[in-house]
Structure 1
Amino acid sequence: MPITFRKSIRIFPGVRLNLNGKSVSFTFGFRSGLKRTYSSTGRVTTSCDLPGPLGWRHTRRRRRGN
């Protein structure tokens, strides 16, 4: 079983710094509702928690300039 590392630090209300073994990311939004996460690996994730066990998530790669 691999060992993983994950740490989330609240910077301001609605802003979190997320650390893991491969990247650093910032999440903007609150626990319930719409959130947007920007990762150092180039991923942008938009998610929305709905009432009960329902939710929605969309992830895409950021385009890098030449």
Structure 2
Amino acid sequence: MTAADSSGNAPDAILGAGAAWTTGQVGEHVLHLDGTGNGNADIPAPVVDTSRSFTVSAWVKLDSAQG
């Protein structure tokens, strides 16, 4: 399964066996990671020039705050 790049600037992400699309609180396009080593989305080429300034953000819903 893949996560398609809609910007036209980078390749699609390849979803691991522990990653799947699900319905979120606001919309249908939520990536669910099952917490295993296979719960990932791999992009096979660089998408950020880390030699320059950039910003990263994420919305995360924790099932538990322990651990």
TM-score normalized by the length of structure 1: 0.30
Indicate the structure with greater strand content.
Answer: 1
Bigger relative contact order, structure 1 or 2, given CA contacts below 8 A and separation 6+? Answer: 2
